[in-house]
Structure 1
Amino acid sequence: MGKTGYILLALLAISAGVVYFLIESRGLRTQYESGIRRMQKSTPAAAGTVTERDIQDLPTLVQKYLRVAGAVGREKIRNFRVVWDGALRSDKSGPWMSAVILQENFFNDYSRDFYLTAFMKGLPVSVWHSYQNQQATMQVKIASLISIVDLKGEELTIAETVTLFNDMCLLAPAALIDKRIRWRTVDAQHVEATFTNGKYSIKARLKFRENGELIDFISDDRYYLTAENKLRRERWSTPVSEYREFAGRRVVSRGEAIWHLNEGAFTYGRFLLKSIEYNVMPN
C-alpha cells in the first residue's frame, strides 16, 4: 500500500472515531441513559411476590398465562432491562435494516425508554422513544447531528401507552395484576383489556393458545407515522412465535410488529430477544 492509501485509511479511521464520539457524547444514547437514571432514583424496590390471591380476579385465560409464564410465586416487577436484535422497514416495499435495541421499563410510575441504532443508506441512525410522566416523545437523528423526526403530543402519548401495555403483556406478565387494567373475556381464546395511565386509556385484544401462552396482541389505538411525519390511527398487532425461559420466567423471545393499513397489512418489525433482566437496581 502506498502513502496515499495509508493517508486515506487514517482519514477513514479519524472520521469513524469522530462519528462514534458524537453518537456517544452528544447523541440520543446519552438522553436515553439519563432518562433511565432518573427512573432508577425515583422507583422503589419491588415489594413481595405474585400470589394466587393477586390473580384470583383476573380472567381465567390471564390467570393461566401468568402461571405458564412463571410469574406466580416470583417477585413482583420493579423494572426490566432488555436487549433486542431487530430488523425494521418503513413500508411494504422498503429494504430491511438490521438494528440493535436497548430498552428499559419501570412499573411503579410507568415509564418506557427505547433506544435503537441502525444504518440507513450507509449512515448511522439513532432512535429514542421515551414515555415518562404520562408524556411521550420520539426523536430520530442521523449521525447524532441531523434531526429527521422530533415528535410529541397527545397522539404520540396514546400510541406509546399502547406500546407500554404491549410490553407488560409480552415481557412482564406479573405486571398484569395492576388494578389500572380492566378485563373482559371475549371467548375461549380472547380477552379484551382496557389499560389506563393517568388521563390516557387504551384498549387491546389478547389471543392465547390452548396451553396458556399469549400469541397475539391487537389494538386499534396506536398511531402510524406516515412519510410526511404525521400520525394516523391504525390497527397494530404483534404476533409471537417463540418462548424462552429467562431467570425462571417464560417470556416471548421472537415476534413481529404489523401495521394493518387500509392499503394492506405489512410486517415492519422483526425482533429477537437477546437478554432480559428483571428488578435491576442502580449500581
Structure 2
Amino acid sequence: MKLMLAISGVVGAILVALPAYVWMSAQSFADRVELIRENMVASQQTSVPARDDIPEIMRRYALKAGGTASGPGVFHAQHEATLTTTKGRPPLQIEADQWTGTRMPGLVWLARGAMMGLPVTVVDSYVDGEGMLEARVLGTFQVAGGTGPEFARGELMRYLSELPLYPDAILNAQGLTWRQIDDTTVEVSAQSAHGPAALRFLFDGNGDVVAMQADDRPMTVGDTTVPTPWHGIYSKYKQFGSYRIPSYGEVGWGLADGLFTYWKGEIVAYEAAQ
C-alpha cells in the first residue's frame, strides 16, 4: 500500500512538473531563435561597395524586379506552404516567417504547423557562416535537425536559391561569386564557414528566373547527410510594392527513382524590415 502511494506521488509530481518543463523549454527555444534572428539582422547593418561583377542577364533581372544598389538590408516575408518530410506521407501544412539579409548571406526561417494534433516548430537559419535546422514538437522535443559543416553548406545553398526573391541581395550581397554559363544559365557560389556552396539559375525568354539546380546539397539520411541533386522552380510573378518577384515555388530532391518535391509554398506578404 505504501509503495503504491509512493508511486502515485511520484507520478503526480511528474504530471504537475511536465507542463512547467514544456513551457520553460519552449520559451528558452523561442528566446534562442530570437537571438539568432537579432544576430542575423545585426550582420546586415553595414555599408557595402557597389558590385560590378554580376552577369548582365542577372543584373537586368534584379533591376526589373525592383532591386537597387544600397537598398534595404533585411526583408521579412510570410509563407503559406506544404512540407512533406518523408516520401509517401501526407504533407504538413505550415505558415512561416522569414527574415533575409541583403548585405551578407543570412536568413532565419520560422515555420509553424501541427503533426498528429501537436504543434510543430521548424527553424532554418544561416548566420555568420553557420547553418542550423531544428524541428521541435511543443517547442520542446527535438525530432529532426542538426548543425555542423554540412548544415552550413546546406543552409547557404538555401540562401543562394532564394536570391531571385530578393533582388537587393543580388545587387548588394558580399561574398558571392557569379559566373554566366550560357545565354540562359548563371551560376552563383559562396563560402560558408565550412566550405563552398553553388547552384545555377535558369532564365526564360523574358529574362525571368524560372528554375534552380544544384548538384550536391547535403540531404539528411538517417544519422548522416548525402550530397544530392537539388531542384527548384519559380513562378507566379507578383508585385509587392515596388518589387516584382516570383510568389510561388517548389523544391525537391533528385533521387534515383525520380524527383521528390518536398516543399510547395507561396509568399503572402513581403516587405523591407530594415
- Whether TM-score is above 0.5 comes out as yes
Q: How far apart, CA to CA, are the structure 2 residues paired with 1:270 and 1:253?
A: 11
The aligned counterpart of 1:153 is 148
Choose from 204, 210, 213 the match for 1:209: 204
Could you tell me which residue of structure 2 aligns to residue 35 of structure 1? 36
TM-score (structure 2 length as normaliser)? 0.83
The partner residue of 1:274 within 252, 268, 271 is 268
- Determine helix, strand or coil for the equivalent of 1:239: strand
1:109 CA drift (Å): 4.1
Give, in whole Å, the separation in 2 of the partners of 1:233 and 1:258. 13
* 2:234 paired with 1:240: yes
Give the superposition deviation at 1:71.
1.5
Q: Runs of 4 or more off by more than 4 Å in structure 1?
A: 45-48
Cα separation, 2, equivalents of 1:141 and 1:63:
39
Q: Take 2:187 and 2:45, find their aligned partners in 1: how far apart are those partners?
A: 30
Change (3 A) 1:132 1:85: same
1:135-154 mapped onto 2 (5 Å cutoff): 135-154=130-149
Which residue of structure 1 lines up, in the alignment, with residue 8 of structure 2? Answer: none
Between the two proteins, the alignment pairs up a number of residues equal to 254
Q: Is the CA contact 1:104–1:112 (under 8 Å) kept in the aligned structure 2?
A: yes
Q: Give the whole-Å Cα distance in 2 for the aligned partners of 1:46 and 1:179.
A: 10
The CA distance in 2 between the partners of 1:23 and 1:271, in whole Å, is: 32
Q: For each residue in 1:138-191, what CA deviation from the matched residue of structure 2 results, as whole angstroms up to 9, or x when unmatched?
A: 211111222212411101111111011112x22212222345222222222111
Partner of 2:3: none
Contact 1:126–1:144 (8 Å) recurs in 2: yes
| Match among 155, 163, 166 for residue 158 of structure 2 | 163
Q: Find the partner of 1:218 among 201, 207, 213.
A: 213
Shift of 1:229: 4.1
Instruction: Tell me, in whole angstroms, the C-alpha distance in 1 between the residues paired with 2:175 and 2:126.
Output: 17
Check 1:27–1:126 CA distance in 2 against 1; reply closer, same or farther (3 A cut).
Answer: farther
- Which residue matches 1:100? 95
Matching residue of 1:134: 129
Q: Which residue is equivalent to 2:62?
A: 66
Question: Could you tell me whether the CA contact under 8 Å between 1:125 and 1:141 is conserved in 2?
Answer: yes
Scaled by the length of structure 1, what TM-score is found? 0.80
Distance 1:223 1:44, change over 3 A: same
- 1:50-92 CA-to-partner distances (Å, cap 9, x unmatched) read xxxx5654223212211321214x6523111111001011233
- 1:106-162 C-alpha deviation (Å, 9 max, x unpaired): 233432111111111222111112222211122111112222124111011111110
Check whether the contact 2:40–2:107 (CA below 8 A) recurs between aligned residues: no
Q: CA deviation at 1:218?
A: 0.9
Q: Is the counterpart of residue 264 in structure 1 residue 258 in structure 2? A: yes
Q: Which amino acid aligns with 2:89?
A: G
- CA spacing shift, 1:191–1:126, aligned 2, 3 Å: same
- % identical equivalent positions: 21
SS at 2:39 equivalent: helix
Displacement after TM superposition at 1:251 (Å): 1.0
Residues in 2 aligned to 1:182 and 1:219: alpha-carbon distance in whole angstroms: 15
Equivalent residue number for residue 13 of structure 1 = none
Give the unaligned 5+ runs of structure 2.
Answer: 1-18
RMSD, aligned α-carbons: 2.5
- The separation in 1 between residues aligned to 2:47 and 2:245, in whole angstroms, is 19
Distance 1:269 1:172, change over 3 A: same
| Contact 1:204–1:218, Cα closer than 8 Å, also in 2 | yes
The residue that corresponds to 1:88 in the other structure is 83
SS at match of 2:33: helix
**Distance (whole Å) between structure 2 residues aligned to residue 179 and residue 47 of structure 1:** 7
Separation (CA, whole Å) in 2 of partners of 1:150 and 1:93: 20
Q: More displaced, 22-31 or 257-266?
A: 22-31
